[in-house]
Structure 1
Amino acid sequence: MEKKYHQQVYSGVLGKLLGVYLGRPVEGWEYEDILTTFGDVYTYKNHYTGAPLIVPDDDISGTFVFCRSLRDFGYEKIKSEQIGETWLNYIIENKTILWWGGLSRSTEHTAYLRLKEGIKAPLSGSKELNGKTISEQIGSQIFIDTWALMFPNDPEKTAYFSREAARVSHDGIAVEAAVFLAVMESLAFEEKQLDKLIKQALFYVSDELKELVETISDVCEKAKDWREVRQWISLHHGYDKYPGGCPMVTNHLVVLMSLLMARDDFHQSIMIATSAGWDTDCNAGNVGCLNAIRLGLDAFKDVGNLRQLVSDRMYVVSSDGGSCITDAVIESRQLIADSCLYTGASYEKPTERYAFEFPGSVQGFMPIKLNKFSQALTKISNTNESSQENGLKLSFEDLGRGSAASFGIDTFIDLTPKGKEGTSYFDVICSPTLYGSQPYFYEIEVDQEGLMIQHFYHYFDENDELACYMEAELELHKGTNIIQSIAPDFGGRPIYQLGFAISSTKTCSGDVIIRQLSLDQEPHHYELLSSREMTKSLTPWTTNTSWLNMFVSSAEKFAPDYQHTVAISHKEKNGVVTIGNSKWRNYSVSSNVVLGCQKRAGLVGRAQGHRRYYAGVLQDGKACILLMLNGKEVVLSAKPFDYQLEKSYQLELFFFKNQINFLIDGIKVVEAKDKILSEGGCGFLVDCGLIQAEGLLIKKTEGD
């Protein structure tokens, strides 16, 4: 039963992705324009708009970020207030997750500003404070799926948590609709009949929503096709019937129409939600998630190449930059782990980043063409589709001299002006998943002798152009090969892709299987140099370079500097800039920092967002080690230190297990022990002023 639930969680995540990516390119289009241009939208239309298929989207980022409150607050019975704090931790103002449409125009932006002002949830989203129009827009329904995925067939818990989450930003019927949809999703783990799901979920919502649901159900039952129902919605509940830019009622009715008119046809359901117009990516995402839970992985058998083109890939954009590049497997694991820790159930979560444990999963692995070879790779699949074992199966034909089966994964995003053009109106904020000197290992099985493997890396060079570096060939023996490697250093510049090329001295066909790939360790010695050394073409106005884009900044100003690597300025408290993988544990971070006129400055480490971290800082004539936890500050240790402004100090923040040291100019000045935060990225902190930093060095630690 547990395995069945786990697969349904993965199916729900994947269904959400397929729906969002189908609906995303036509979001905001008039219904008539969708109809005349495409008719029924069964296939991805991103090529029509010039955007990539995999783009950042609030429907994805918010859904998989806001539910982190469950793990960040100790798996206790959290309330809206704690979920609101999760918003503040992971959202970067005017950059991540939300549509930043303005106070009293964008519901979520309005709620964020209330939270920032110190107004606690649920007042932050209330109609008393924000008005009925703003509080009853669509957003609460967008972000609700993960609460159901964490509590399979548990409508009581799902209703509680989804209501608390929705009330951070919404009120009234918008909250009721979010709860109704989440409860349906939770029940769908067991109940497969849509009519029964609707009837049972109605016990958890208000009479106002019940009347709407019952009415649309009657309309669907009598209609000949979905376009007839769509016309009824437009006539009685179209956008012109409600104030605001994206009212909940219209879109909630579209979700129900898509489910009821498609019944057990997953592809048909997300097609209807997309082709009907209005908030297409939100509606298709919700429909896709619910139907994928209800129908299981069988839902994807008749969707053409929709699943293959996605290949599990997704971006979850937040202040936790190391978790931006992710996939449906990684997110499903975390939801299952969160649920099990809350309920006390057992779950052996894979320790390897890539374990391919769900049927058909490929975790973002794609063919990568190498200019020096012709491509012999013919198919990427999973061995669990035909056996009991999990593994990435790579099939090749006519492999021989001059050809290679080449494949790999993205470890960063091309955010330079050339690469960023046309991606999305949501910013991509991301730290790499692989750094120079970072170790990784994998297990690969081959079915014949005479095969070789080469590791290759696409990286950004000093001109910010993508270049390729190929390592020497390694001989593979028939059977299982365990290979350990270390990513090469490209002067601190980002690695864009990690790739593998299978070659042979004789023409052959066959398969290789990767059973697992571990990629989350700390780098041994990773160093950023001066800004001039990082990018040749740097000018004082250059703010969009690949190496600078590795950092996630909530500071108001973050830019390269002629005399230093970066300058960081922030007019308020808590100007944080981070880099690194969210799984880093034992490391030190150091930099030469010039103190400007500020209240506090230093380094942060084990950062999990920008309001959960440790920091080594200079403030008020003291050197301090701080714990910032969900916006609340605790001084763990402090000693007097006579520092001077406009003077450079070598600062180092050291972590090993529970030990934390703060070193200044090579001398340990302050130390502390604490175990609350065990992992996370690192970077800089400045309050109300400026710091300039020369270089950044991250080293793996072995002990004090």
Structure 2
Amino acid sequence: MIPIDYLQKVYAGFLGMNVGIRLGACVEPSSWTYERIKLMYGDIKGYVKDYKNFAADDDANGPVFFIRALYDDAIHRELTPEDVGRAWLNYTREGIGMFWWGGEGVSTEHTAFLNLKKGIKAPQSGSIEENGIVLAEQIGGQIFIDTWGLLFPSSIEKAAKYAEVAASVSHDKNGLYGARFISACISKAFSAKNIEEIIEVGLSVIPKDSTYAQVVNGVLNFYKESPEDFASCRKYLEDYWGYDRYPGICHIIPNAGVCVLALIYGQGNFARTVEIATMCGWDTDCNAGNVGTILGVFNGIEGIEEHYRGPINDFIVASSVSGYLNIIDIPTFSKELALLGYRLSNNEAPKDLIDSYKEGELYFDFELAGTTHGFRVSNGFKTRIRHSYEKGYNSKGSLEVLFDRMVENDSSKIFYKPFYRRSDFEDERYKPTLATKAYSGQKVSLEVFLDKWEGEDMIVTPYVRNTFNQEEILLKKHVLENNLWQHIEFIIPDVDGALIDEVGIILESPSKLANRALGRLFIDNFHVSGKSKYTIDFSKQAIEFLCVTPFSHNRGEWSIEDKAMKCISKDGTSAYTGNYYSKDISLKAEIKPLKGYEHSLIVRGKGIYRNYSAGFYREDKVAIILNDFEYKILSSTEFKWEFGRGYDFQVEAIGDNITLYIDGSKILEAKDDSIENGMIGFACGKEGESILYYFEVEEK
């Protein structure tokens, strides 16, 4: 049965995973030995680095994207390894992001990916027979599986089975046992009474004579003799189960020992558990992330300390091929996971959960405890935000904004960031390419409640920010009435080919010094919805994270030259942007082919291997093509075209009808209902070069 607090536990588990990843990532490289971590940071009690925004991490990428096999293939049937293998191929940009590209025969994931590319299907792609036992038993088997445990609360065997199926794409033997163990622990954490019970359940789903079971039992036995001294247990691991005994870059066995050590010595305390996992060294972000998920579920959201939770601010980024999906609001993703969990258990989800998740839209209802949905303030001296259950618009939760003694000329922006730039991050971990989640033409609505304690009028001005010139575009001002919910609504204005990286309101007051404004503002039901209509002007874009904003590139060389985007392909390349959930759409672009015979616009791109493309196809031909892990020409015709000339392309996907226009004339039409939604983009097949001068997008 799905527990009553299922959504809250999923939220706590996924948030706990990201707390652990963020804490451990700072000391992950092998140069950070146990001794150096202790020397530099001592007894860790909080984040050792203050990231302004934490960049992408493979430990979150895998749990977020490999479960998409349940949306794309295993919709009404059991999951297979081949389903997850297709998710790997479809969402991973070759050679960048998603996981560690350490080289074939060195990185397990890199090797498995290349096997998949060669046509070696899962689970053979991750087998010992194919890759050898060393690669098969590296740590990746257990670090990408947290979400499988979250999807099957207290369904231990199901969680273990699905985790094993997913891990078999890249791992084998102890690599699979680690997947089963951790996923079962997460699943049991929904109902367990203590940590020992969780670990016992993990052991129950793996072979009793396996090396994995041996290291788990070794740690448990040591704990019985020395229950107060985790450092001695860490030395025991070093002496008997250390990296020197297990070859490869990052073997699963030593790290399995650390996970169990942290769980048993942390004794149910979330903070202490992720801290111990970090202080023990080795693969710190992986281990702290795994135990963070377990303890997040076990304790619930109240068990995650604010000094760990606050800096995350309900926000992470990922690094798949979809820049739209890469910007992750943790409460929204948790709702998506919970809805999937209900589906997999054949249970009907609660109506309030169904209503609170709006696919392809931004919708923040602040119902989950402590949620901020990534909102920020620009003036931290005069304003402060936190979650509140004191006020809610036809609900119990809202975002509370304290404003403190504001006078004329004081102001503070209260905003959500639908897009991020390289400058928003300190590092480049796993290259998180991004596409904006709010577009010109869409409607923004929110409810606000003023609780003014003293002072003059409070005024809010809706605004968006143009990321190219940093200009704040101000819309109609609203003078707020006290003690009353008020509806604010506006249309996101056109930004002339640039992108939008802030959406929100500016709070200010004409109060004088003698009567300063003090009080609170509550915000609820923040919603960005409706049809977008926008352009991408390449003269206003930049190369960031090895891509032209706001695109994610797969293969090829991409650059900005003379206010245009240029691509060079050696053996096929593609680029993707836009709302992953767009359905009916018109995409226009000027394309100048320079070399090669395949130059096409992409619509309804659900990934690298699932999309429609329309454009030049071979010499003097055009075609509309379905790509669903193999190419199918839906329609084609003769069309004389030449290199070095610009052509105005337009591709429309309306219902099951796909139409190609060139220079204003209708050239081709096809009908197909295989793919109902996806990104937009461009592809240059085989060897070729192309120049694109603009993108013009309109959702229908």
Would you say same fold, with TM above 0.5?
yes
Cα deviation, residue 583, structure 1: 2.8
What secondary structure sits across from 1:86 in the alignment? helix
Structure 1 equivalent of residue 641 of structure 2: 643
- The separation in 2 between residues aligned to 1:453 and 1:192, in whole angstroms, is 48
Q: Please tell me whether residue 294 in structure 1 is matched to residue 292 in structure 2.
A: no
Structure 2 equivalent of residue 447 of structure 1: 451
Q: Please tell me whether residue 557 in structure 1 is matched to residue 571 in structure 2.
A: no
Preserved contact between residue 565 and residue 691 of structure 2 (Cα < 8 Å): yes
Give identity over the alignment, percent.
Answer: 27
- The separation in 1 between residues aligned to 2:117 and 2:388, in whole angstroms, is 46
- The separation in 2 between residues aligned to 1:264 and 1:679, in whole angstroms, is 43
Preserved contact between residue 21 and residue 53 of structure 1 (Cα < 8 Å): no
Preserved contact between residue 623 and residue 668 of structure 2 (Cα < 8 Å): yes
Structure 2 equivalent of residue 35 of structure 1: 38
What secondary structure sits across from 2:363 in the alignment? coil
Preserved contact between residue 442 and residue 531 of structure 2 (Cα < 8 Å): yes
Letter matched to residue 290 of structure 1: I
- The separation in 2 between residues aligned to 1:624 and 1:477, in whole angstroms, is 59
Preserved contact between residue 375 and residue 404 of structure 1 (Cα < 8 Å): no
Structure 2 equivalent of residue 404 of structure 1: 411
Cα deviation, residue 419, structure 1: 5.3
What secondary structure sits across from 1:182 in the alignment? helix
Structure 1 equivalent of residue 568 of structure 2: 569
Preserved contact between residue 431 and residue 546 of structure 2 (Cα < 8 Å): no
Preserved contact between residue 359 and residue 384 of structure 1 (Cα < 8 Å): no
Residues 291 and 651 of structure 1, relative CA distance in 2, 3 Å threshold = same
TM-score, normalisation: structure 2: 0.91
Cα deviation, residue 256, structure 1: 0.4
- The separation in 1 between residues aligned to 2:646 and 2:389, in whole angstroms, is 56
Preserved contact between residue 20 and residue 289 of structure 2 (Cα < 8 Å): yes
Q: Please tell me whether residue 222 in structure 1 is matched to residue 225 in structure 2.
A: yes
Q: Deviations over 1:394-451 (max 9, x none)?
A: 2222233222343212222222xx555x413321211122234443222223335932
TM-score, normalisation: structure 1: 0.91
- The separation in 1 between residues aligned to 2:268 and 2:547, in whole angstroms, is 47
Cα deviation, residue 546, structure 1: 11
- The separation in 1 between residues aligned to 2:495 and 2:306, in whole angstroms, is 40
Cα deviation, residue 13, structure 1: 0.5
Preserved contact between residue 435 and residue 578 of structure 2 (Cα < 8 Å): yes
Ranges in structure 2 where 5+ consecutive residues have no aligned partner: none
- The separation in 2 between residues aligned to 1:188 and 1:385, in whole angstroms, is 32
Q: 2:365 aligns with which of 345, 352, 355?
A: 355
Q: Please tell me whether residue 172 in structure 1 is matched to residue 138 in structure 2.
A: no
Residues 70 and 488 of structure 1, relative CA distance in 2, 3 Å threshold = same
Q: 2:313 aligns with which of 296, 311, 314?
A: 311
Ranges in structure 1 where 5+ consecutive residues have no aligned partner: 536-541
Of 602-611 and 504-513, the range deviating more from structure 2: 504-513
Cα deviation, residue 389, structure 1: 0.8
Q: Deviations over 1:218-274 (max 9, x none)?
A: 111211311111111111111111111111001011000000011121111011001
Structure 2 equivalent of residue 335 of structure 1: 337
Structure 2 equivalent of residue 539 of structure 1: none
Structure 2 equivalent of residue 480 of structure 1: 485
Structure 2 equivalent of residue 242 of structure 1: 246
Preserved contact between residue 433 and residue 520 of structure 1 (Cα < 8 Å): no
Residues 41 and 256 of structure 1, relative CA distance in 2, 3 Å threshold = same
Q: 1:590 aligns with which of 588, 591, 603?
A: 588
- The separation in 2 between residues aligned to 1:87 and 1:609, in whole angstroms, is 10
Cα deviation, residue 3, structure 1: 4.0
Structure 2 equivalent of residue 190 of structure 1: 191
Residues 160 and 558 of structure 1, relative CA distance in 2, 3 Å threshold = same
Of 283-292 and 683-692, the range deviating more from structure 2: 683-692
Preserved contact between residue 52 and residue 424 of structure 2 (Cα < 8 Å): no
What secondary structure sits across from 2:607 in the alignment? coil
Structure 2 equivalent of residue 538 of structure 1: none
Q: Please tell me whether residue 345 in structure 1 is matched to residue 347 in structure 2.
A: yes
Preserved contact between residue 660 and residue 671 of structure 1 (Cα < 8 Å): yes
Structure 2 equivalent of residue 258 of structure 1: 262
Cα deviation, residue 166, structure 1: 0.6
Structural mapping, 1:512-551, within 5 Å: 512-524=521-533, 526-529=534-537, 531=538, 533-534=539-540, 543-544=543-544, 548-551=548-551
What secondary structure sits across from 1:258 in the alignment? helix
Q: CA RMSD in A?
A: 2.4
Q: Deviations over 1:448-500 (max 9, x none)?
A: 593221233443336xxx44444452233442222222223333222222232
Letter matched to residue 535 of structure 2: E
How many residues of Structure 1 are paired with residues of Structure 2 in the alignment? 674
What secondary structure sits across from 1:305 in the alignment? helix
- The separation in 2 between residues aligned to 1:298 and 1:441, in whole angstroms, is 30
Residues 638 and 338 of structure 1, relative CA distance in 2, 3 Å threshold = farther
Preserved contact between residue 107 and residue 169 of structure 1 (Cα < 8 Å): yes
Residues 340 and 657 of structure 1, relative CA distance in 2, 3 Å threshold = farther
Structural mapping, 1:21-170, within 5 Å: 21-28=22-29, 29-47=32-50, 52-75=52-75, 76-170=77-171
What secondary structure sits across from 1:424 in the alignment? coil
What secondary structure sits across from 1:68 in the alignment? helix
Q: Deviations over 1:320-370 (max 9, x none)?
A: 11111112112111212222333332231522532223111111112223x
Q: 2:288 aligns with which of 284, 288, 304?
A: 284
Preserved contact between residue 62 and residue 145 of structure 2 (Cα < 8 Å): no
Preserved contact between residue 314 and residue 326 of structure 1 (Cα < 8 Å): yes
Q: Please tell me whether residue 364 in structure 1 is matched to residue 377 in structure 2.
A: no
Q: 1:501 aligns with which of 490, 499, 506?
A: 506
Letter matched to residue 475 of structure 1: V
- The separation in 2 between residues aligned to 1:467 and 1:44, in whole angstroms, is 34
Structure 1 equivalent of residue 20 of structure 2: 19
Cα deviation, residue 152, structure 1: 1.2
Q: Deviations over 1:594-646 (max 9, x none)?
A: 223324221111222222222213214443322222x2333333344343344
Preserved contact between residue 355 and residue 390 of structure 1 (Cα < 8 Å): yes
Residues 609 and 357 of structure 1, relative CA distance in 2, 3 Å threshold = farther
What secondary structure sits across from 2:431 in the alignment? coil
- The separation in 2 between residues aligned to 1:409 and 1:204, in whole angstroms, is 43
Q: Deviations over 1:664-701 (max 9, x none)?
A: 22222222344443332211111011222121111232
Preserved contact between residue 445 and residue 489 of structure 2 (Cα < 8 Å): yes
What secondary structure sits across from 1:485 in the alignment? strand
- The separation in 1 between residues aligned to 2:580 and 2:571, in whole angstroms, is 26
Letter matched to residue 147 of structure 2: T
Cα deviation, residue 2, structure 1: 4.8
Structure 2 equivalent of residue 267 of structure 1: 271
Residues 545 and 216 of structure 1, relative CA distance in 2, 3 Å threshold = closer
Preserved contact between residue 391 and residue 398 of structure 2 (Cα < 8 Å): no
- The separation in 2 between residues aligned to 1:545 and 1:285, in whole angstroms, is 24
Cα deviation, residue 544, structure 1: 4.5
- The separation in 2 between residues aligned to 1:477 and 1:74, in whole angstroms, is 52
Letter matched to residue 129 of structure 1: E
What secondary structure sits across from 2:595 in the alignment? coil
- The separation in 2 between residues aligned to 1:419 and 1:450, in whole angstroms, is 34
Preserved contact between residue 421 and residue 544 of structure 2 (Cα < 8 Å): no
Preserved contact between residue 622 and residue 641 of structure 1 (Cα < 8 Å): yes
- The separation in 1 between residues aligned to 2:409 and 2:378, in whole angstroms, is 16
- The separation in 2 between residues aligned to 1:583 and 1:481, in whole angstroms, is 30
Preserved contact between residue 31 and residue 275 of structure 1 (Cα < 8 Å): yes
Structure 2 equivalent of residue 383 of structure 1: 389
Preserved contact between residue 661 and residue 670 of structure 1 (Cα < 8 Å): yes
- The separation in 1 between residues aligned to 2:97 and 2:277, in whole angstroms, is 26
Cα deviation, residue 547, structure 1: 9.6
- The separation in 2 between residues aligned to 1:494 and 1:361, in whole angstroms, is 26
Q: Please tell me whether residue 691 in structure 1 is matched to residue 693 in structure 2.
A: no
Cα deviation, residue 42, structure 1: 1.6
Letter matched to residue 607 of structure 1: G
- The separation in 2 between residues aligned to 1:263 and 1:169, in whole angstroms, is 32
